[in-house]
């Protein structure tokens, strides 16, 4: 006979509580199972085994189309291809109709691919109609607004006066990118300030530089000279489907320097540069200047250091001097002056260059 005490009573109560929980869970679990089974049967069209009765919502799932558009954001005069597919319907034996701006362009069984040209401006509307034999018609509408975004850039580097070329993008230099979108609303062009811009470098979005009205972007190159793929996506505010894209590749170019004659009458002769070996004939002296290209400076004397050598001897002149005067040696029958100059930018260590040239003086 079990002697009841407080400890035994606690044990019996605990066993009874566990037993009640076990019975309750089995009952509720069975009830839950019945509810799930009933709901599943209702969704499939009844509690019986007949699965031929498929409700309308299941048919709609089967009618969902897999649509591929290439390119997704066409530029003016681009060819666009729309391809459709579905796994709940045999499209190869189904009548398919394609209309462009209300005019039928293509129709027939299995016409799953439609290609058209978006034109230069304005909206192009494509209507797709699918006519299944035993199901309701399926209709889709696509709208395209070809938009062109011109992407311009200007490097903040130095070039000499009258230079007809473009200042180039050199290592560690800065460049300003400017987007010029060409969106038309009605008969007027959408103002650039009413456009949303998204800038990216090598497909990495520059979030801080993107947003409403931000049509320009300033970028400073790394110390390692690598090409950069610059891109901008733009669309009128509230009309993201009218997206336009501008892209360009920035290639870094090395800085360089060229020699020019500094004529006492006409000044620096920028119309031609001096190269290789120059015969000065019977002249007693000649003044030459060197000018930098694609350095991150405001002018030729701002922040650059020049180091001059004549016949391998360093010339003791101020480091910001870009001009020297050569004088012939009267004691030599033919005087050769080999001139070397090195240029460097102390604040941009990758911006450095040099140039060398020979000058001949004749004494008879």
CATH number for the domain including 95? 2.60.40.10
Residues 295 and 308 reside in one and the same domain? yes
On whether residue 51 sits in a domain, the answer given is no
**Rounded distance between C-alpha atoms, residue 154 and residue 87, angstroms:** 52
Structural domain ending residue among the three candidates 94, 124, 144: 144
Per-residue exposure over 163-202, b if at least 16 CB sit within 10 Å of its own CB, e if not: eeeebbbbbbbebebebebbbeeeeeebebeebbbbbbbe
**Per the domain annotation, does 57 fall within a domain?**
no
The reply to whether 295 and 273 lie within a common domain is yes
Cα gap 203→229, rounded to integer Å: 8
Q: With b meaning 16 or more CB within 10 Å and e meaning fewer, what string describes 33-58?
A: eeeeeeeeeeebeeeeeeeeeeeeee
Residue 242 sits in the same domain as residue 160: yes
**Together in a domain, 163 and 198:** yes
Same domain, 269 and 336: yes
For residues 139 and 189, membership in a common domain is answered with no
**14 in a structural domain:** no
Residue 27 lies in a domain: no
- pLDDT at residue number 72: 82
Taking the CA atoms of 210, 211, 217 and 218 in sequence, report the sign of the dihedral they define.
negative
Q: What is the pLDDT of residue 300?
A: 87
Q: For residue 5, with 0-12 CB atoms within 10 Å meaning exposed, 13-18 middle and 19 or more buried, which class applies? A: exposed
Helix (H, G, I), strand (E, B) or coil at 94: coil
- Does residue 288 belong to any structural domain of this protein? yes
Residue 170 and residue 128 share a domain: no
Taking the C-alpha atoms of residue 125 and residue 170, their distance in angstroms, rounded to an integer, is: 45
Domain that holds residue 292: 256-362
Mark whether 167 and 120 lie in a shared domain.
no
Per-residue model confidence (pLDDT) at position 23: 56
Q: Among residues 246, 253, 76, 226, which one has the least CA distance to residue 178?
A: 246
Q: Are 333 and 361 in contact (CB under 8 A)?
A: no
pLDDT of residue 39: 38
Q: What does the pLDDT read at residue 22?
A: 55
Instruction: Report the alpha-carbon distance of residue 221 to residue 172 in Å, rounded.
Output: 5
- Name 30's Cβ contacts closer than 8 Å, sequence gap at least 6: none
Q: Is residue 5 part of a domain?
A: no
Q: Which of 144, 178, 200 is the last residue of a domain?
A: 144
Q: Are residues 299 and 239 in the same domain?
A: no
Residue 155: per-residue pLDDT: 94
Pair (114, 210) in one structural domain: no
Q: What is the pLDDT of residues 125-162, one digit of tens each?
A: 999 999 998 888 999 999 887 778 899 999 999 999 88
135 and 220 assigned to the same domain: no
Q: What pLDDT, on a 0 to 100 scale, did the predictor assign at position 79?
A: 94
Extract the residue ranges of the chain whose pLDDT is less than 70.
1-63, 186, 329-334, 363-364
Confidence (pLDDT) at 36: 34
- Ordered alpha helix ranges (H), 45-146: 56-62
Where do we find the tokens 């520059």?
Answer: 206
**245 and 263 housed in the same domain:** no
* Boundary residue ending a domain (226, 250, 274): 250
Which pLDDT belongs to residue 314? 94
Residue 78 in domain = yes
How many domains does the chain contain in total? 3
In a domain, 333, yes or no: yes
| pLDDT given for residue 159 in this prediction | 94
């Amino acid at each position: 006979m079990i002697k009841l005490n407080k400890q035994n009573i606690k044990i019996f109560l605990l066993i009874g509580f566990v037993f009640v929980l076990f019975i309750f869970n089995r009952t509720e679990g069975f009830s839950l199972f019945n509810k799930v089974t009933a709901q599943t049967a209702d969704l499939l069209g009844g509690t019986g085994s007949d699965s031929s009765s498929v409700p309308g919502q299941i048919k709609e799932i089967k009618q969902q189309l897999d649509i591929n558009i290439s390119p997704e954001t066409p530029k003016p005069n681009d060819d666009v291809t729309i391809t459709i597919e579905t796994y709940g319907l045999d499209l190869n034996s189904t009548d398919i109709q394609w209309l462009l701006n209300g005019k039928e362009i293509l129709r027939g069984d299995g016409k799953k691919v439609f290609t058209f040209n978006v034109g230069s401006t304005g909206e192009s509307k494509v209507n797709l109609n699918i006519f299944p034999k035993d199901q309701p018609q399926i209709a889709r509408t696509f709208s395209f607004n070809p938009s062109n975004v011109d992407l311009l850039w200007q490097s903040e580097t130095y070039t000499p006066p009258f230079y007809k070329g473009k200042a180039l993008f050199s290592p560690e230099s800065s460049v300003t990118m400017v987007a010029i979108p060409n969106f038309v609303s009605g008969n007027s062009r959408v103002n650039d300030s009413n456009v949303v811009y998204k800038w990216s470098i090598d497909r990495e979005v520059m979030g801080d530089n993107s947003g409403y009205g931000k049509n320009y972007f300033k970028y400073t190159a790394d110390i390692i000279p690598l090409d950069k793929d610059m891109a901008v996506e733009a669309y009128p505010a509230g009309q993201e489907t009218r997206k336009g894209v501008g892209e360009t590749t920035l290639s870094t170019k090395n800085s360089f320097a060229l020699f020019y004659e500094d004529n006492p009458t006409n000044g620096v002769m920028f119309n031609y540069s001096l190269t290789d070996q120059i015969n000065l004939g019977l002249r007693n002296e000649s003044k030459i200047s060197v000018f930098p290209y694609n350095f991150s400076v405001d002018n030729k004397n701002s922040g650059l250091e020049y180091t001059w050598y004549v016949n391998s001897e360093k010339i003791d002149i101020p480091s910001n001097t870009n001009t020297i005067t050569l004088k012939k040696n009267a004691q030599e029958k033919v005087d050769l002056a080999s001139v070397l100059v090195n240029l460097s930018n102390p604040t941009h260590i990758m911006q450095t260059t040099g140039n060398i040239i020979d000058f001949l003086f004749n004494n008879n």
